[in-house]
Amino acid sequence: MEQTIHFKLNSRPVTVTTDGERALLWVLRTDLGLTGSKFGCGQNQCGACTVIINKETVRSCQYPVKNVAGKEVITIEGLALNGKLHPLQKAFIKCGAIQCGFCTPGMILQSYGLLLKNARPSPAQIVAHMDQNLCRCGAHTRIIEAIQKAAAELKGGKA
């Protein structure tokens, strides 16, 4: 059913009028032109579409867009503030935690969600939190390293 949905996207208010049952991922990628969130499986299995909704990590590929009404959504495009990269983004670059880069937006937002809750996660906690985000190129060890590095920088108040 067509409905008008108001929400906050990357700190800006947006309004979309569309079928509220549509997946948030496609509304972001098509209607709103933000292609940073990726389609990897559409089955909640890979995490390439991960976004932050009200400080929680959410798989946007199966999340009905009507459910974001009144909420705050962050996508990969909204992570850098005023052109300044977030410590996670910097750490991913620095550690070479990227190969093809397709899973990267989901990886960064999944770890962003972790750091919101746990400012200094142990490697085991990182692994547990990231385990359902898939990377086929095998950048895993460096992604763990990057998350630790970013956590250290955020903790040090340099962000």
Partner 1 sequence: METQSELLDRREFVKILGPGLYFLFSLDNFLLGQQPGGRMGGYPTDLNAYLRIAEDGHVTCYAGKVELGQGVTASLAQMLAEELEVPFDSVSIVLGDTMLCPWDGGTNGSRSIKYLGPVMRAAGAEAREVLIQMAAEILKLPPDRLIAKEGAVFEKNNPANKVTYGSLARGRTIERHLDEKPRLKSPSEFVVCGKSLPRADFQDKVTGKAQFAGDVRLPQILYGKVLRPPVHGAKLKNVDLTAAKEVKEAVVLQDNDFIGVVHPLPDMAEKVLARIKAEYELPQLKVDDRNIHQHIENAAARDNVVEQKGDLAQGNKLAVLKFEESYATPYVAHAAIETHSAIADVKRDKATVYIGTQRPFGVGEEIGRAIDLQSKQIRVIAPYVGGGFGGKSQVGQAVQAARLSKMTGFPVQVVWTREEEFFYDTFQPAAVVKISSGLDESNRIVFWDYHVFFAGDRSAQNIYSVPNLRTMSRGMGFGGDGPHPFSTGAWRGPGSNTNIFARESHIDVMAAKAGLDPLEFRIMNLKDERMLRVVRAAADKFGWKPAKAPSGRGQGMVCLDYLGTYVAAMAQIKVDKSSGGIRVERIVHAQDMGPVINPDGARMQIEGGITMGLGYCLSEEIHFKGGQVNDLGFDSYQIPKFSWVPQIETVLVENFEIEPSGCGEPPIVGIGALIANALFDATGVRMHRLPLTPERIKEESS
Contact between 125 and partner 1 by CB under 8 A: the answer reads: no
List phi, psi (to 5°) of 65. -65, -30
Does residue number 126 form part of the binding site for partner 1 (CB under 8 A)?
A: yes
- Using the minimum distance from each CB to partner 1, give the nearer residue, 13 or 138: 138
Among 36, 64, 71, 154, the residue binding partner 1 under the rule CB under 8 A is 36
Which residues, listed in sequence order, are joined to residue 52 by a DSSP beta bridge?
57, 74
Least distance (Å) from partner 1 to the CB of residue 121? Answer: 12
- Applying the rule CB under 8 A, the residues between 73 and 112 that interact with partner 1 are 75-77, 79-80, 85, 89, 92-93, 96, 98-105, 108
Q: Is 50 in the site for partner 1 (CB under 8 A)?
A: no
> Residue 45 and residue 5: Cα distance in Å, rounded?
27
The residue among 125, 89, 119, 116 whose CA lies nearest residue 104 is 89
Please give the full DSSP string across 22-89, using - where no structure is assigned: SBHHHIIIIIS--TTSPPS-SSSSS-TTEEEETTEEEEGGGSBGGGGTT-EEE-GGGSSBTTBPPHHH
**By the criterion CB under 8 A, which residues form the site for partner 1?**
22-23, 26, 29-31, 33-43, 45-46, 48, 75-77, 79-80, 85, 89, 92-93, 96, 98-105, 108, 126-128, 130-144
